[in-house]
Structures are given as structure tokens and as C-alpha cells.
Amino acid sequence: MSRVILAALAALTLAAPACAQTAPKETDAQRWTRQWEERLHNDFAYLARYRDDNAKLPAPVAGQPRVIFMGDSITENWASRAPDFFVKGRIGRGISGQTTSQMLLRFRQDVIDLKPAVVQIMAGTNDIAGNTGPTTDAQVQGNIMSMVQLAQANGIRVILASIPPADHFEWKPGLAPAPRIATLNAWLQDYARRVGATYADYWSVLHVGDALNPAYGTDGVHPNAAGYAAMAPVADAAIRQALAKPQLRRIR
């Protein structure tokens, strides 16, 4: 081996640690995106997220109806940022970034098998954003209808939550989501009426114009503590209304 080659190899060996030290550190957003892409290929519905937690849940307590909150990051953050709300049998099953197709796939594991009296379904934001690809309103509606039908067939009362207000998505620049949110919310309210579900109108308490009230969240989508405090009375009223409805007969 020539001296020139040996010198080049030595230079590369010495330079490697320096390159490693100067490599940019992965940001939280980059890490989330990488993990999201990996899960889409390996666990599309992210069934692993709550599998162990579900197995550890005790049976529902008599006189304390179990309420499952199915949703995306808005629901997931609610459970972590307002833990005092999630008492008395209330269980959060939100997963950041999820669309209705992903929620439908995990609906049996994360809702039906937990035997709740009520399920709240809050979904649609990430479908509008196209997180798992382009999705039409009809497809979103179909996925929600399937979740409602599964719940009702298993004796579970349903709360359909409005899609919260947003006039932009930071992770999808240039998209104007407000018109689709308005269209889907009108459908959700009408569909809830037609199938005997309860409609929870969070949009009305969170919005300023078409946008999320800045007092209730700084990124235009996700509520802060004040936002969740504004949502809590709506949820409480919806749960009372849902529980007042006759117990659904489970289809076997």
C-alpha cells in the first residue's frame, strides 16, 4: 500500500469524529416525522400505542360509566394536559396525527373491547390535512359512519365531536381547511341527529371567525390549558346527554 493511500486513510480516520460531532441534531419535528413514516409501514393504525394500557385496565366499575375519548392529537393532548378531567371512568385514546381510517382500524381494540357506556369520536382534522394521503369528504364520512355503527351494534352510546376550528395547518403550508371543516361539521351534526348520537359542538366555544381563538392555542390547531377548560363543559353536557339515552341493545 503506497504512502499516499496510507496518508489518505489516516486523514479520513481523523476527520470522521469531527464530522460526527458537526452532524445536525435531529429536531423534535424531524423525529416525529421519521417515527410517523416508520409506523405507516409497520403499524399503520398504531395498534401498539395502547395495547399494554388496555390489557391493564380493570373492568368497568358499577355506577361509574366508562367513557372512551377516541381521536387524534387534540384528544391525546387533552388526556395529558388536563388529567383532572379524565377521572371517573374517562379514558383517553387519542393518537397524534391520526386520520379516520387509522381510528377505524383500531376501534375494536381501543373502544369496543374496553366495554364503555359511551364513546366520543373526534376526527377529521388530519384527513383534511391529508396525513395518510388525499381523502374525500365522503371517505371521511364513511369511516365515521362505520365507527358509529360498530359502537351502536355493541351497545355503546356515541358522541360525535365537531372538528375544532382551524384556518391553517403549520405542517401543511398553503392549505385552507376552514371550508371543509364547516362542511364536515354540518354533516356531523345532521348525522348525529339521524342516528340518535349526541353532537358535541367544540367549534363554537373555541373559534374566532374561522380560526382557533389565540387565547385557546398558539399554533392554530391544538388547544392549550385554557382551550381544554373551555371544552370541558361541552364534554360534560354531551356525556350527560348521551347517558340519558336508552341503553342500546348489543347485536351478537
pLDDT at 9 over 50: no
- Of residues 6 and 156, more confidently modeled: 156
- Asked whether the beta carbons of 178 and 218 are under 8 A apart, the reply is no
Query: What mean pLDDT value characterizes the chain?
Result: 90
Taking phi first (over 0 means left), then psi (-120 to 50 degrees means alpha), and beta for anything else, what does residue 22 get?
alpha
Q: What is the pLDDT of residues 65-123, one digit of tens each?
A: 999 999 999 999 999 899 999 988 999 999 999 999 999 999 999 999 999 999 999 99
pLDDT at 250 over 80: no
**Domain spans in the chain, listed from the N-terminal domain onward:** 49-54+63-244
Q: What is the pLDDT of residues 25-60, one digit of tens each?
A: 878 767 767 876 777 767 789 999 999 999 999 999
pLDDT at 252 over 90: no
pLDDT at 4: 45
Nine-digit cell string for 233? 363543559
**Homologous superfamily, domain 49-54+63-244:** SGNH hydrolase (3.40.50.1110)
